[in-house]
Amino acid sequence: MNMLTEMNLGLPTKGAVTGAVLGVLMFATAGAALAEMKAAVIFGVANPVAVNGWDRGQFEGVQKLIDDHGWDVTVAEAVPFPGLANTAENYAKSDYDVVIFTSSGHIKAWNEVAPKYPDTLFVMMSTTSSLPESDNVLAYTSDFYAYGVVNGLVAGLATETDKIAAIGGVPVQALEDMFSGIVESSKIVNPDIEVLTAFSGDWTGIPRAREVSVLQIQQGADIVIGNAGVGTRGILDAVQSTETQFVGYATDWTEDAPETVLTSVLMNIPSWYEQLAQDVESGALTPRIELFGAESFALTPFNDSISAETAQKITDYVDQYVNGELDVPKVNHSFK
Amino acid sequence: MMFLDPDFILSALRTGTPLMLVALGVLVAERAGVLFLGVEGVMLTGAFFGVLGAVYMDDPWAGVLTGTLVGMVAGLITAALVVWLPTDQVVMGLALNIAAIGLTSFLFRLAAGDLSQMTPPLNFTVPESLADNAFFAFLFGVPPLTWLTLVLSVVTSYLLFRSAPGLLLRSVGQDVKAARSAGIDIRVVRTVAMVIVGGLTGLGGAALTVGWVRSFSDDITAGRGFIALAAVYFGRWYPGWTLFGCLLFGIGESVAFRAQMLGGNPHLYLMIPYVLTVAVLALTGRARAPREVGRPYEGN
């Protein structure tokens, strides 16, 4: 009952009916958490665990729900955009307690389905600037600008050519924020820096991402930051083939190519899922966007491509930024 | 220096090589009178098994061989279905493509742990004494499979148009009644042709994964098999023009990547190769395919 009271306190005033419905949902959700939560997670890619970066990070989060919280989780893979809403609806109709979307490309379906099924909690594990007009929604994501800042500090200090490259899949808002952070922070640690940006045009094309990356490297970039979904493999291949250095995205890329991966900037996506589980268990389900900032990021150990002195310098700058001692102005660049 | 420098040409060759190999396969199939719509699926299968072979045998050439051999098996299966049964070539081709996506995705999932590593590189190393010479640096920069493609093109062209087996194959694609009257076993010729076709297509798939990007992902071919098919139509079923069509697409893709540096919306530039393909096909006018393409041979 305590949980129910706490949740109702957080309700926006939308009338007694809505409040009662949400109250029932939350009570049911909280009650189910004590037993077993039934959740569905929707991926746009196939075999997410094999896609290092964003999707593997999400999958590790899913694993956390299963292993640490005993949730019964169903995973839907390779769901095409036109089928997202239908898939989510089917889970809601099948009495799933929670439906999780894993990409900002899923926002339209999230907006469409959530209001129709008030008894199910719809969660967005990706960047969004607004919530659906519904009380059964939550969003967890990283501050991509801050994430870009950390990447920019790493690349700006590690480069020897004063040129770094940021390669993306499609210029969505999260990437624009990330690349803006890279531009601004790398300038602070290296005033001579030139940031080359390019997009492969999709999230799945390894060959395209590879060739786009090769081109940036031919322009002089010696540190490459890649965020192109499945295509990031192509970026890594281009970097490895040209003996430059790669900054891993979201998860640890070291095992893929130890000599090529300078470091990885971990996004700690599983912590979003941990937060979700805690919120469900505690009943803190007020609609909100939970933003994970720089303090949630971490660097994996550097490889041997940079000196110990440079590595220390990078660590110091990142620590300063995380502790709020380094001020990086927020400037939004457009890369479209 | 942005366009038409050695790096640009190498990029176009890397992009065009898998297409050229696959297009050679399609060309042979259609010259034998088989509509090879399953090309995308066979290419995808070759791409997957190429990576599998390269990773498990730790040798890129072993991967290339594996992709080729599996492609030959796929070609044989195609022959069994469309030559011996014979089923509708359009429906069977589409079914094979869908089956290949399912099969490779399923197997990729099983082997995902092992395939997370890159395959060993497949390239030439420039001798140190020649590294400073731009011409030799370029020559050594050309992917080995591109050289192999050129050799195979010459061989295919010779066999098709200058040899007795080639005449046999073309006659089967042009007029089965006349060919049968001359004592040619249509089914055997088409079966042999499809095994060769499968090998070339599988090799094209391996050229994409092992020879170029060194990894596999679901549906990595992304329609390249169909682009190769379009190149054959563009080339009017002649190897030279077909390869030129593939190279044109490679050039279009390379232009698209480079044009991004001019600024503007990247999606606009990424349309270039496809617009180029459509434009070229439209401008080349109506081509006449070998007469028997797509017609099932009933044996009477």
Q: Are A125 and A73 in contact (CB under 8 A)?
A: no
Residues A224 and A314 grouped into a single domain: yes
Shortest distance between the Cα of B8 and any Cα of chain A, in A, equals 9
| B186-208 helix and B6-31 helix, angle to the nearest 10 degrees | 160
pLDDT recorded at residue B271: 85
Q: Using one digit for the tens of pLDDT, what is the confidence trace for B149-173?
A: 999 999 999 999 999 999 999 999 9
Across the interface, do A198 and B115 touch by the CB < 8 Å criterion? no
User: What does the alpha-carbon distance between residue B36 and residue B92 come to, in Å, rounded to a whole number?
Assistant: 9
Same domain, A311 and A190: yes
**Poorest-pLDDT segment among A35-39, A219-223, A313-317, B143-147:** A35-39
Q: How confident is the model at residue A18 (pLDDT cuts 50, 70, 90)?
A: very low
Contact B266 A255 (CB under 8 A): no
Nearest-CA neighbor of B207 among B146, B155, B150, B152?
B146
Does the beta-carbon distance from B213 to A51 stay under 8 Å?
no
* Mean pLDDT (whole number) for A25-49: 73
Instruction: Indicate the pLDDT class of residue A1, thresholds 50, 70 and 90.
Output: very low
> Which are the contacts of A304, defined by CB distance < 8 A and separation ≥ 6?
A259
Element of type H or E holding A271: helix A270-282
Please write the tens of the pLDDT for every residue from A283-296: 999 999 999 999 99
Question: Could you give the CA distance from residue A121 to residue A71 in angstroms, rounded to a whole number?
Answer: 14
Residue B102 has pLDDT above 50, yes or no: yes
- A46 and B222: CB-CB below 8 Å? no
Cβ–Cβ < 8 Å for A48, A58: yes
pLDDT category, A20, cuts 50, 70, 90? Answer: very low
Does A103 share its domain with A211?
A: no
Q: How far is CA A170 from the centre of its chain?
A: 15
Percent of chain A, pLDDT > 90? 80
* A9 and A136, same domain (yes or no): yes
Phi-psi region of A283 (alpha: psi -120 to 50; beta: other; left: phi over 0): left
pLDDT at residue B265 is higher than 90: no
Residue with tokens 């194959």: B169
B163: nearest Cα among B53, B31, B9? B31
- For residue A154 the two structure tokens come to 């790493």
Quote helix, strand, coil % in chain B, to nearest 5: 75, 0, 25
Asked whether residue A45 is assigned to any structural domain, the reply reads yes
Distance CA A156, CA A168 (A): 18
Length of chain A: 336
Q: Is A248 in the B-facing interface, judged by CB distances under 8 Å?
A: no
Residues A68 and A202 in one domain: no
**What would the pLDDT profile of A200-215 be if each residue is shown by its tens digit?**
888 888 998 999 999 9
Q: How far is CA A156 from CA A111, A163, A194, A307, in A?
A: 39, 8, 9, 14
Q: At what angle do helices B39-56 and B186-208 cross, to 10 degrees?
A: 60
Q: Which of B138, B213, B274 to mutate to test the interface with A (most CBs of A within 10 A)?
A: B213
Q: Is A47 on the interface with B (CB under 8 A)?
A: yes
Which structural domain range is residue A64 located in?
2-142+269-294
Q: Are residues A106 and A21 in the same domain?
A: yes
- Substitution target from A79, A202, A203, A215 for chain B, most B beta carbons within 10 A: A215
- The span from the CA of B161 to the CA of B170, in Å, is 9
Chain B residues at the A interface, defined by Cβ less than 8 Å, are 7, 11, 14-15, 105, 108-109, 112, 115-118, 121, 123, 208, 212-215, 217-220, 222, 253-254, 257-258, 260-261, 265-267, 270
Place of tokens 């989060």: A61
Instruction: Give residue B300's pLDDT.
Output: 59
> Do residues A42 and A68 both lie within one domain?
yes
On whether the CB atoms of residues A187 and A200 are closer than 8 A, the answer is no
- The answer for residues whose C-beta is within 8 angstroms of residue A300's C-beta and 6 or more apart is A248, A252, A254, A261, A263, A264, A266
Which of A51, A79, A210 would best serve as a mutation to test chain B binding (most B beta carbons within 10 A)? Answer: A210
Rounded distance between C-alpha atoms, residue B169 and residue A321, angstroms: 70
Q: Same domain for A6 and A112?
A: yes
Q: How far is B27 from chain A (nearest CA, A)?
A: 24
- Number of neighbours of residue A31 by Cβ within 10 angstroms: 13
The span from the CA of A161 to the CA of A196, in Å, is 12
Please give the residue of chain A at the shortest CA–CA distance from B267: A201
Is A130 part of any domain?
A: yes
Tracing tokens 């109702």 back to the chain, one arrives at A8
CATH number of the domain at A256, please.
3.40.50.2300
On whether both A212 and A184 belong to a single domain, the answer is yes
The CA distances from residue A43 to A92, B88, B89, in Å, are 16, 36, 34
Of the candidates B208, B217, B266, which has its C-beta nearest A233's C-beta? B217
Contact flag B219-A204 (C-beta cutoff 8 Å): yes
pLDDT value at B272 more than 70: yes
Total domains, chain A: 2
- Tell me if A336 is assigned to some domain: no
Q: Does residue A34 register a pLDDT over 80?
A: no
Q: Which domains does chain B have, with CATH numbers?
A: 6-283 (1.10.3470)
A327 is a domain residue: no
Q: Is residue A332 part of a domain?
A: no
Domain check: are A276 and A138 in the same one? yes
Q: Quick one: A205 and A275 in the same domain?
A: no
pLDDT at residue B3, as a whole number: 63
**Per residue in A154-187, pLDDT tens?**
999 999 999 999 999 988 899 999 999 999 999 9
Q: Do residues A124 and A98 both lie within one domain?
A: yes
